[in-house]
Amino acid sequence: MARRVTAVSLACLLAAGLIPPLPPDAAAAATGCASPSRPARPGPATPEAGGHAHHDALRLGPEPRTPYPADVGRVLAELDKRLQGREPPARVTVPIWVHILTDGVSGASTASVNAQLDTLRAAYGGRLGGAATGVGFRLDGAQIVRHAGWFTDPMAHEEAMKTTLRKGGPETLNLYLAQLDGQVLGFSTYPYWYRDSPRLDGVVIDWRTLPGGTLANYNRGYTGVHEIGHWLGLFHTFENGCQSPGDGIADTSPAARPAKGCPGGAKDTCPQSGRDPVHNFMDYAHDRCMSEFTRGQGERMREMWVVYRDREPDAAASS
């Protein structure tokens, strides 16, 4: 953690073709948690009736409580109701805006941002060992944001930061790269929160978790993969432990508790059939042990997309 990366200049991003030219005021104005053994990838807050939850629940305790089976059931029931007569697309493209926070000294580089985008495409495309999800990603833009407070404490300044920087509608993934407190790797909103809190929609991750970053065990870019899974509607694979409906997806075996470190594939903590999905991106293993989504998770993300995020159907996902 001691080693820091100097933030790349806006001119470098423009020269590299990573971002389109920005208006002068854009650059100027720019200027779930866990135990120490597992930095946070916060999970979902308790969904309310109708499939919505309060974003503020992210801040209740070190990590939002695991939803009860009834909570997951409400989300799934609302999803099923809204899906009536609608066919999820076979493929979707997620437009991304990247907001690169910096204090003027530290922050993500052009190379690490590009590597993170490549990692997203590989993970969701099934090229790391799992199923292809049918979800692709397209970079629509990026901006460097020099603001020490937002960079060092994005949770405390979340509303101001996101209200100022956010681009697009429900279909646009706003990815904020900041520096979290060491016990938090990232946090995300959920698709069904957008209606009530559109300005707060998005994903925040620690820039040191990008590929080649300085956070040991969490520097292959899989924190971004994990948090974006939440943004697309996935629960943790260990949700509800061994109790039904678990995470609500048929082909992710139940697990009594999150994975720690890099457990072997023989881990089996529930009496139901199937070993714990310790290699799934929606568990808590070290990055080197993560490699897959399932077909069911891909289908769920596309269902959530058509119900909560799709503005204009797009069948040509980037790969």
Which tens digit of pLDDT belongs to each residue from 59-90?
Answer: 222 233 456 788 889 999 999 999 999 999 99
* Confidence at residue 181, expressed as pLDDT on a 0 to 100 scale: 84
Query: What is residue 6's DSSP assignment?
Result: B
For residue 9, pLDDT beyond 70? no
C-beta atoms surrounding 230 within 10 Å: 23
* Confidence at residue 123, expressed as pLDDT on a 0 to 100 scale: 99
Residue, of 213 and 20, whose pLDDT is higher: 213
Contact 216, 174 (CB under 8 A): no
* Confidence at residue 19, expressed as pLDDT on a 0 to 100 scale: 32
3-state secondary structure of 31: coil
Q: Tell me: the pLDDT tens digits for 253-276? A: 999 999 999 987 688 999 988 999
Backbone region of residue 274 per phi and psi (left: phi > 0; alpha: psi in -120 to 50; beta: other values): left
Dist. CA 16–CA 6, nearest whole Å: 17
For residue 8, pLDDT beyond 70? no
- Phi, then psi, of 78 in degrees rounded to 5: -65, -40
* Most confidently modeled range among 11-25, 117-131, 265-279: 117-131
Contact 293, 131 (CB under 8 A): yes
* Most confidently modeled range among 41-45, 52-56, 63-67, 153-157: 153-157
For residue 97, pLDDT beyond 50? yes
Q: Tell me: the pLDDT tens digits for 191-227? A: 999 999 999 999 999 999 999 999 999 999 999 999 9
For residue 317, pLDDT beyond 90? no
* Confidence at residue 1, expressed as pLDDT on a 0 to 100 scale: 20
Question: What average pLDDT does the structure give for the chain?
Answer: 81
Contact 262, 286 (CB under 8 A): yes
For residue 319, pLDDT beyond 70? no
Contact 201, 163 (CB under 8 A): no
Residue 15 banded pLDDT, cuts 50, 70, 90: very low
Please name which of 267, 270, 268 lies closest in space to residue 242, comparing C-alpha atoms.
Answer: 270
Residue 27 banded pLDDT, cuts 50, 70, 90: very low
227 an active-site residue?
yes
Residue 179, C-beta contacts closer than 8 angstroms, at least 6 positions apart: 101, 103, 106, 107, 151, 152, 206, 207, 208
* Confidence at residue 312, expressed as pLDDT on a 0 to 100 scale: 52
For residue 26, pLDDT beyond 60? no
* CATH architecture, range 13-78+87-309: 3-Layer(aba) Sandwich (3.40)
Dist. CA 12–CA 110, nearest whole Å: 8
Contact 189, 55 (CB under 8 A): yes
Dist. CA 174–CA 168, nearest whole Å: 8
Contact 122, 149 (CB under 8 A): no
3-state secondary structure of 279: coil
Residue, of 91 and 51, whose pLDDT is higher: 91
Residue, of 72 and 139, whose pLDDT is higher: 139
For residue 127, pLDDT beyond 60? yes
Indicate which residue of 227, 239, 299, 303 is catalytic.
Answer: 227
Backbone region of residue 60 per phi and psi (left: phi > 0; alpha: psi in -120 to 50; beta: other values): beta
For residue 311, pLDDT beyond 50? yes
For residue 302, pLDDT beyond 60? yes
